[in-house]
Structure 1
Amino acid sequence: MISININAAISIFPKDGKSFKTLYERADITLQQTKKAGSGIIQFFDAAIEKEAEKLWEVFNLIKKASEEKLFTFYYQPYFYTKTLKIAGFEALVRIIDRDGKLYTPDFFIDYLENSQYLSSFENWAINEVTEKIKKWGTNISLNISGKTFSNPILIPILSEITSEIRNKLTIEITERIFINNPEYTMQILSDIKRMKNPPKIAIDDFGTGYSSMSYLRDLPIDIVKIDKSFIKDMVEDKKSLAIVETIIGLAKKLEKMTLAEGVETEKEFTILKTMDCDFVQGFLFSKPLPEKKIAV
Structure 2
Amino acid sequence: MFDSPLSASAYEVLGVDPTATADEIKKAFRLRLRQTHPDAGGDAAAFIQVQRAWELVGTPEARSVYDRGHGFGTAPGASTPEQDWSGWRAPAPRTDTRPKARAYGHPGGWRRERYLSLMREWAGRGVDLDDPYDPALVRSAPLEIRRLLADALAEEATAGTVSDLGMGFTVWHDVATGTDPREKLDHVVLSPSGLYGVMSEDFAETARFRRGEIIGQNVDGRAPVASLLARMRVIARAAKVRFGGAIIVLPDDDLEQAVTALGKVRGIPVVVVRRSTLGMVLRQGVPGARDIGGNELFDVRTRLQQTVRFV
TM-score calculated relative to the size of structure 1: 0.35
TM-score calculated relative to the size of structure 2: 0.34
Question: Quick check: which has more Rg, 1 or 2?
Answer: 1
